[in-house]
A and B are shown apart, each in its own frame.
Chain A
Amino acid sequence: AQTVTQSQPEMSVQEAETVTLSCTYDTSESDYYLFWYKQPPSRQMILVIRQEAYKQQNATENRFSVNFQKAAKSFSLKISDSQLGDAAMYFCAYTRNQGAQKLVFGQGTRLTINP
């Protein structure tokens, strides 16, 4: 079975600084997708960024980028120029690349932005 582990229950960063959230996963599959979801106090699940396992290039979305290390099964999220609106729970998630598949989530990291 696939598992996703986030070892940082809480992180904090000063506004405008950079923060990195860690995620490791375990799978025997070679073709899969990894995600970072943001869950603000509204509890809405918002997709932040997606990485395809067969792509070596790390995904980027504006201030958000990932460091995908396939051999190490590591998938960290870097948030640059942190903003107050980035404060939320962040979940790392995995799914197999076989059409519609369920998401397996990590335990989450609560990110606080200090003004």
Chain B
Amino acid sequence: AAGVIQSPRHLIKEKRETATLKCYPIPRHDTVYWYQQGPGQDPQFLISFYEKMQSDKGSIPDRFSAQQFSDYHSELNMSSLELGDSALYFCASSPPPRGYTEAFFGQGTRLTVV
């Protein structure tokens, strides 16, 4: 079965650079979530999109922005990178919300800022 695809899997950037993370949800899933997991930390919710509109926002820095495109894939743009942005970034997707909907996680993008 198709899974959530994240690219790239690994990314190394220097401080003050910009990074773009991509997420391709499972086909027919219209909701995408982004989470950030720092070293030794639990995943923290950043932002979510439903039908290409932002549906919820968590602790996402102003330096970060995200969007969901017409094909439902999503991109997380991170500017002015800081050392503290080094983390594993998960994307998850879920089908149209009718009652409970399970979120399926991608394998994550490991971002290292040096």
Contact = CB atoms under 8 A, between A and B. Distances in A.
Chain B binds chain A: yes
A103 B100 contact: no
Interface size on A, as a range, is 20 to 34
B55 interface: yes
Contacts of A99: 97-99, 101
Interface of B: 31, 33, 35, 37, 41-45, 48, 50, 55-56, 58, 88, 90, 92, 94, 97-103, 105, 107-108, 110
B50 A100 contact: yes
B58 A33 contact: no
Interface of A: 33, 42-45, 47, 50, 52, 91, 97-108
Nearest to A102: B45
Contacts of A103: 33, 35, 43, 45, 103
15 contacts: A43-B110, A47-B102, A50-B102, A52-B100, A91-B43, A99-B98, A100-B31, A100-B50, A100-B101, A102-B45, A102-B56, A103-B103, A106-B42, A107-B41, A108-B42
Given A99-B98, A100-B31, A100-B50, A43 B42 contact: no
